[in-house]
Chains A and B, each alone.
Chain A
Amino acid sequence: MQTKIAVIGDRGSVLGFKAIGFGVFEADKEVSIAPLVSDLAKKEYGIIFVTEELIAVNLDVVEQYKDHMLPAIIPIPGKNGSLGIGMENIHKNVERAVGADIFQTQ
């Protein structure tokens, strides 16, 4: 299945992605991205990259699509650098699967 790739974030972070052919959607921290994401999911976007700043305030959206195969909602660092949310998500997955975070010391 041919799917498109979207990126959601503040203007400064996502601007460049337009040049390489992503669907770019600007969003503010104040507004929930839930409607946008569900809209994108319907429009056959397979991967949605979201900046960590936005992920932090929209955790419910991520939760909603967690167990679906598509779209994959993937946090990427914003222009202000990584907030560690992406890594935290990985650790959460480990915890979910193993029962304890066995990579914590790293």
Chain B
Amino acid sequence: MAVLQVNPTRMELSRLKKRLTTSMRGHKLLKDKRDDLMKKFLELIRENMELRTRLEEKMAQVYAGFVAAGAAMDDAILQEALMLPQRQVYASARTKNVMSVSVPDFEFTDTSDEKRDIYPYGFAFTSGELDASVDALQEVLPLMLQLAQAEKTVQLLAEEIEKTRRRVNALEYVQIPTLQETIKSITMKLDENERGNLARLMKIKDMMIARQRQAQE
């Protein structure tokens, strides 16, 4: 592991030690975040899969209904019947916070009038199959919204997990070892200086004693 290019001084040593503690703490926090995100993610992905399976089944039925309606009546009339919708649905998107990831929280509202039905056409020229299909579609609407929310949440969580995992790994395998190595090398250099100094002092002391003895003789 590469050692950082720094001056081997005490100042630098204490600075690096501080950085190491911060990194270790960050590493622990991020690891916890990753684990918790993963837990949430696995919960949500199961829900997501189930919703999708259910929606795909229902949608197949809906399309079958529309095909039947299309067969029972003229294409132009079908077009015309559906051309002007009674209402508009809105999804009010609020932000929900899941482990500091902003995910959408959809809730749907529509502009329909309670007293009126949802069919945007009169019944004179259309077949009963069409009514049934529109009904069926109306029923899958909440499911579609749920799926949209679940799927987007899962997508955003996946992205966040990926990012967090990368950070954890960078800290664990690069940042922290590098700092540790550098601290070690600085400590060793400082110790080496210390020993050098001590040896020099002892040598000087010996020399001084020898000189004193010479003077006495």
- CB-based contact A76/B104 at 8 Å: no
Give the A-binding residues of B (Cβ under 8 A).
38, 41, 45, 48-49, 52-53, 55-56, 59-60, 62-63, 66-67, 70, 78-79, 82-83, 85-95, 102-104, 106, 108-112, 118-120, 133-134, 137-138, 141, 144-145, 147-149, 151-152, 154-159, 161-162, 165
Bound complex: CA of A97 vs CA of B161, how far in Å?
6
A100 within 8 A of B: no
- CB-based contact A47/B106 at 8 Å: yes
Scoring A3, A13, A16 by chain B CB atoms within 10 A of each residue's CB, the highest score goes to A16
- CB-based contact A72/B151 at 8 Å: yes
- CB-based contact A3/B90 at 8 Å: yes
Assess A46 versus B93: contact at CB under 8 Å? Given A16-B66, A66-B155, A82-B60.
yes
- CB-based contact A3/B49 at 8 Å: no
Bound complex: CA of A33 vs CA of B139, how far in Å?
28
Nearest A residue to B46 by beta-carbon distance? A103
- CB-based contact B82/A90 at 8 Å: no
Q: Which of A49-100 contact B (CB under 8 A)?
A: 49, 66-67, 69-70, 72, 74, 76-79, 81-82, 86-87, 89-90, 93-94, 96-99
Among candidates A19, A22, A90, residue contacting B119 with C-beta atoms closer than 8 Å: A19
Assess A76 versus B144: contact at CB under 8 Å? Given A16-B137, A97-B162.
yes
Bound complex: CA of A96 vs CA of B106, how far in Å?
24
Q: Which of A28-59 contact B (CB under 8 A)?
A: 46-47, 49
| Other 6 A-B pairs with CB < 8 A, given A21-B112, A72-B149, A94-B158 | A4-B90, A5-B90, A72-B148, A87-B52, A96-B158, A103-B45
Q: In the assembled complex, which residues on chain A have CB atoms less than 8 Å from the CB atom of B111?
A: 21
Q: In the assembled complex, which residues on chain A have CB atoms less than 8 Å from the CB atom of B89?
A: 4-5, 20-22
Whole-angstrom distance from the CB of A36 to the nearest CB of chain B? 18
Identify the 8 closest CB pairs spanning chains A and B, nearest first: A72-B152, A21-B89, A97-B158, A97-B161, A93-B158, A96-B158, A79-B63, A46-B93
- CB-based contact B133/A16 at 8 Å: yes
Scoring A15, A49, A72, A86 by chain B CB atoms within 10 A of each residue's CB, the highest score goes to A72
- CB-based contact A90/B38 at 8 Å: no
- CB-based contact A3/B159 at 8 Å: no
Bound complex: CA of A99 vs CA of B145, how far in Å?
28
Among candidates A15, A67, A87, A94, residue contacting B82 with C-beta atoms closer than 8 Å: A15
Nearest B residue to A1 by beta-carbon distance? B93
A-B contact pairs, 24 of them (CB 8 A): A2-B90, A5-B108, A12-B66, A17-B137, A18-B83, A18-B85, A21-B112, A49-B144, A49-B148, A72-B104, A72-B148, A72-B149, A72-B151, A72-B155, A74-B151, A77-B60, A78-B63, A81-B63, A87-B49, A87-B52, A90-B151, A96-B162, A97-B161, A97-B162
- CB-based contact B152/A69 at 8 Å: yes
Q: In the assembled complex, which residues on chain A have CB atoms less than 8 Å from the CB atom of B145?
A: 47
Bound complex: CA of A21 vs CA of B102, how far in Å?
27
- CB-based contact A47/B82 at 8 Å: no
Bound complex: CA of A61 vs CA of B59, how far in Å?
24
